[in-house]
Amino acid sequence: MNEAARPLDRRVMAIACAALLAGGGLGFAWASTFSASCLRYGLWELFGCGYTGWAAAAGNAAAAAGCGMLAYLTLTPSGIAERVLRITGMGSSFVATVGALGLPVAPVDQFWRLVVLGWIGIGLWLIGLGVRRATVTQSVLGTILGGTLVVWGLVNIRNEDPLPVVGGPLFFLPFMIWTWRFASRIANGWRPGGVASRRAWLRVANDIVVALAFVLIVIPAWLVSTFGGPIMGDPIQPFDVRNDTDEVITFFTTRGQPAYGMVVGARQTRSTGQFPRSSYPFSANQGDREIWCHTYTSADLKRAHYVVIVTTDPASCN
């Protein structure tokens, strides 16, 4: 091997490793997040949930750092467009990495927004990377993943109760496929080539199969992963009602609908549930008198660990 070839080989190896770091990091973050017992309490508890919380944060940071390395290594700034794309990828990756590293130790709401903002920029970088023609980075999948990150980020950056998973619950899988293919193409010395000719009926059949798969599988899976989807069966959000007063109360899951009252003894706790909603207008009576009213959001319930505490506070019902 001559001396001129060695730097190129090292650079190719670095690009492949960066791609695998990005995909492996996001996959590790997904596994750590969904294995955490604190996930049901939302963003606010997950990253303080011992080893799994730190592991999820580290996986997200590794994925973002891998994307930053890819942005630096794969783009030679030969023009304004390449420079802008490179700066976008590196800057966004830095923001996402810092945000992820701060999740276990800093105000989680603000730092999760940094993570989301950084991945929006990474999504824009992926789109720009994927549409570059006749280059190793050209990829329809990469472009779709970039668009998904942008849409997911814009939807979730102001969400009060986000699912702390980059891109959505299923995003990690196609992202890992893309990074693996990218590393493979780099390592195998990809070169642009022509499209092999096929018989007309094979092309038509292939187009029909691809279209059906796209409509029946890909689009529904993308919608469910990015925006969330329906839950099969009868979804019920369980929670406990704790009566901190010295008298028996009647607790209402929906204020003004007395048919749904539940009696809770003095200083006792009872379990109940309700269909998931964006807000829960709870109230409680002692006899015919309202003594407590409070509207919880789904985020409030998670912060409270699904324990609703009733006290004597008639002013809250005004």
Residue 194 has pLDDT above 50, yes or no: no
- Give the pLDDT of residue 135: 67
Query: What is the total count of domains within the chain?
Result: 2
Judged by DSSP in three states, 262 sits in: strand
Mean pLDDT, range 98-120, rounded to an integer: 93
Residues spanned by the domain of 257: 237-317
CA angle 196, 201, 204 (to 5 degrees): 85
Residue 187 has pLDDT above 90, yes or no: no
Q: What is the CATH number of the domain that holds 300?
A: 2.60.40
Residues 64, 187 within the same domain = yes
Mean pLDDT, range 30-47, rounded to an integer: 88
Q: Which two tokens stand for residue 134?
A: 């006749």
Task: Provide the total of helices (H) and of strands (E) in the chain, helices listed first.
Answer: 10, 7
- Give the pLDDT of residue 134: 54
What are 215-265's pLDDT values in tens digits? 555 566 656 555 554 444 457 888 999 999 999 999 998 887 776 789 999
Q: Which of 126, 156, 191 is the last residue of a domain?
A: 191
Residues 277, 187 within the same domain = no
Mean pLDDT, range 5-16, rounded to an integer: 72
- Give the pLDDT of residue 204: 60
d(CA 13, CA 108): 35
Cα distance between the two ends of the chain: 82
Residues 29, 140 within the same domain = yes
Residue 170 lies in a domain: yes
d(CA 235, CA 223): 19
- Give the pLDDT of residue 1: 45
Q: How confident is the model at residue 193 (pLDDT cuts 50, 70, 90)?
A: very low
Residues 141, 52 within the same domain = yes
Q: What percent of the chain has pLDDT over 90?
A: 40
Beta bridge partners of 308: 241
What are 255-313's pLDDT values in tens digits? 877 767 899 999 999 999 888 887 899 999 998 899 999 999 888 998 899 999 999 99
Residues 114, 250 within the same domain = no
- Give the pLDDT of residue 181: 84
Residue 90 lies in a domain: yes
Residue 4 has pLDDT above 70, yes or no: no
